[in-house]
Amino acid sequence: MSIAVSTKGDIFLLNTQSTSYAFGIDHLGLVRHLYWGRKIEAVDDFELPELTEVSTNDPVFEITPEEFPVHGGLRYKEHCLKATFPDGTRELVYRYCGYDVEKGEDREELVIHLMDDHYAFFMDLRYKLYPQYDLMERSVVVRNQTEAPIQIEKLHSAQFHIPYENLNFSNVHGHWGAEQQRFVQKVSYGKIVIENRRGISTHNHNPYFVLDQDATETDGQVYFGALRLSGNFSGVVEQTQYGETLVQMGLNSHDFLLELQPGESLEAPAILCGYSDHGFETMSQNLHRFARDHILREGLRPVLYNSWEATEFHVTSREQIKLAQKAKEMGAELFVLDDGWFGERHSTQNGLGDWYVNEGKFPNGLEELVDAVKALDMKFGIWVEPEMVNPKAQLYQDHPDWIYHYETRVTDTSRVQYVLNITKPEVQEFIYNMLDNLLTRYDIDYIKWDANRPISQTGPQRDVWYQHIQIIYDIVKRLKEAHPHVLFEACASGGGRIDYGILGIFDDFWTSDNTDAYDRLYIQDAYSRIYPIKAMRAWVTDCPNFLSGRVIPLTFRYHSAMMGTLGVGCNILKFSPEEMELSQKMIALYKDIRPIIQEGDFYRLDNPSADQYFLYEYLKENQGVIFAFLPQSKVGHRGTTIRLRGLDEQAQYTLHTSKGDMIKSGSYLMYHGLELKLCGDYASAVIQFEKNP
């Protein structure tokens, strides 16, 4: 059983395959955290000693490691919940009123019921266990059973306690074109805050925490959690005065206030969390497996061709058909027509909101291109940016009140566009109907949903930062019900919406507009720590790269993009016969190894060399693939040793290297390793291997 309750009924022990999480209800009625770490099966071994205050300045409320600290009383620490009752009371006092265990097919859920001491206001702490993945989802549901609205001013989904100081905190920083730049910093006294205030969640930080004790890929303790929310989030890590580190995440309270009406409830976004005492690899693999099995849509993702970098806004039916023919010749399975096909969209200046096919660009209608793509036996995808409108667009002329704005202020444009106020039902219906009509009228298999600016001037409502993304989730869910075969790609100016919230709603995810194959190695490495490979779209694009100006050999560009879900964004009409031939070879190879890449376990391998090799392994059942990259060799031009992981020590493996096949035992490959030497700039290799029967 995953959930155990102590004999006295006051302690709860939540067990997964190799981890435990425990808390209890103490003599003050506080929900007190007790343990998070390696598995302990004996619930009755846990104790709840009375905590005494250090001094009158360090009250018990401050010292108690609460699972869900609320605002009020002698608590000055970070709280998860702050609410104002209609009479002006801003303090919460909770009472424990029992628990429930709910059982699902492959999970158990513990619900701790808390109630305010005076008002009919309820808080359910939810702990959903996924034992075989060593993961848990924590969230809270607040419910207003009073007769009047209650103002929710802050809602974080959970608090976690880690019984150590001087931990390392890692996350990513960045901006457009430079997303997913991993950073690691020591946690010391004071707070680390990561957040987003822009409505578009993840260019700058990502809603997750990783705290480790000098862990490596395979050793050391790691505590982690990923918030299932796109939009404004915040996370706080604090090393307290009392010998522990606490962390919480949830809705960002910046400019936030949500009126919970009588009878209404609000569920905070869940935090998918876990513990590993085997380093980062276990963390990543558990998250990846869970995402593949429970969050992402089933099936392999197609090799796509996207025409954005080739033609930008200047699309014409004739040229797109030619691109599609070339893409087919190369081996692409899906052709995506990007921005520029609709309204008066010739640049960023106009078009957004006017979702009719531009007749000048498509004189015979969009059907001509769709039919041509279908005749090639390819799938057809199309770009939209439904949340936005250009000031010049007819939609804005007709409905100037459909955008987020203040009556007395000038509304900011960004990329020459406004954000539609999708909290208005008529705007929601407009977006839904526009997409429903598009998908009904044309034989479309794939929607690329873009969002190219942050939100501003939200108008009087202060819950917009939360509601906006919830409404998008709902529209996409409705569209998927009506058009179940269509895949939806989430894109927000590159990787602006990459989080465990969007992962459950969309199917494909644009990692970054930065398609430089070298930059991508860093971006993809950081991405892979939390997000599954199947959710990491990667394109091969032209050189010199439009961002970095780098010129990188096509083989290296392919190898780098083959580490995720492969796409091509080059102007393939300009390809030489050699480039076309190489592309065909690479795409064929990718299709061969695709199940291992998209659905296998992923390993970030160590590089023992003084030269900067990037080494990765994918393993699915008996088959594996190694990727090796050497962007630049240094003086000495050293080779490296690739020590594989996850193999069967006793088994024999056949490796298909450029020098011919080689048979080695699993133990040799893992402990001695495979010698490899790459030469020159931007050298790379892909080595397939399999376990011998």
**Residues at the site binding ligand DGJ, with contacts judged by CB under 6 A:** 308, 338-339, 383, 450, 452, 491, 493-494, 510, 513
Residue with smaller CB distance to ligand DGJ, 119 or 396: 396
- Alpha helices in 407-539, H assignment, sequence order: 425-441, 464-482, 517-530
User: In the numeric block, which tokens belong to residue 560?
Assistant: 């780098």
Please, what is the minimum distance in Å from the beta carbon of residue 512 to ligand DGJ?
Answer: 8
Please, what is the minimum distance in Å from the beta carbon of residue 495 to ligand DGJ?
Answer: 8
| CA gap 247, 235 in Å, rounded | 7
Direct distance between the N- and C-terminal alpha carbons of the chain, in angstroms, rounded to an integer: 37
134 is catalytic: no
Residue with smaller CB distance to ligand DGJ, 447 or 669: 447
Distances, alpha carbon 444 to alpha carbons 310, 366, 602, in Å? 21, 11, 32
| CA gap 93, 115 in Å, rounded | 8
Please, what is the minimum distance in Å from the beta carbon of residue 230 to ligand DGJ?
Answer: 15
CB 371 within 8 A of CB 441: no
Please, what is the minimum distance in Å from the beta carbon of residue 489 to ligand DGJ?
Answer: 10
Q: Map 213-238 to HEC letters.
A: CCCCCCCECEEEEEECCCCCEEEEEE
Please, what is the minimum distance in Å from the beta carbon of residue 308 to ligand DGJ?
Answer: 5
Query: Which secondary structure element, helix H or strand E, spans residue 565, and what is its range?
Result: strand 565-568
* Among 26, 212, 499, 513, the one annotated catalytic: 513
Query: Which secondary structure element, helix H or strand E, spans residue 581, and what is its range?
Result: helix 577-599
Residue with smaller CB distance to ligand DGJ, 383 or 629: 383
255 is catalytic: no
Please, what is the minimum distance in Å from the beta carbon of residue 355 to ligand DGJ?
Answer: 14
Q: Quick one: 485 exposed, middle or buried, by C-beta within 10 A (0-12, 13-18, 19+)?
A: exposed
The angle at the Cα of 97, spanning 95 to 100, to the nearest 5 degrees, equals 140
CB 387 within 8 A of CB 451: yes
Of the CA atoms within 13 Å of residue 652, those in its CB half-sphere come to: 6
Residue with smaller CB distance to ligand DGJ, 181 or 423: 181
Which residues sit opposite 627 in a β-bridge? 616, 686
Residue with smaller CB distance to ligand DGJ, 122 or 176: 176
| CA gap 283, 537 in Å, rounded | 21
Residue with smaller CB distance to ligand DGJ, 245 or 514: 514
User: In the numeric block, which tokens belong to residue 281?
Assistant: 């690899």
- Closest residue to ligand DGJ, judged by C-beta, is 339
Residue with smaller CB distance to ligand DGJ, 128 or 203: 203
User: In the numeric block, which tokens belong to residue 679?
Assistant: 């030469």
* Among 450, 463, 499, 601, the one annotated catalytic: 450
Nearest to 388, CA basis, from 407, 367, 412, 406: 412
Please, what is the minimum distance in Å from the beta carbon of residue 438 to ligand DGJ?
Answer: 16
SS3 state of residue 348: coil
Please, what is the minimum distance in Å from the beta carbon of residue 398 to ligand DGJ?
Answer: 23
Nearest to 384, CA basis, from 486, 537, 295: 486
Residue with smaller CB distance to ligand DGJ, 379 or 405: 379
Catalytic residue list: 450, 513
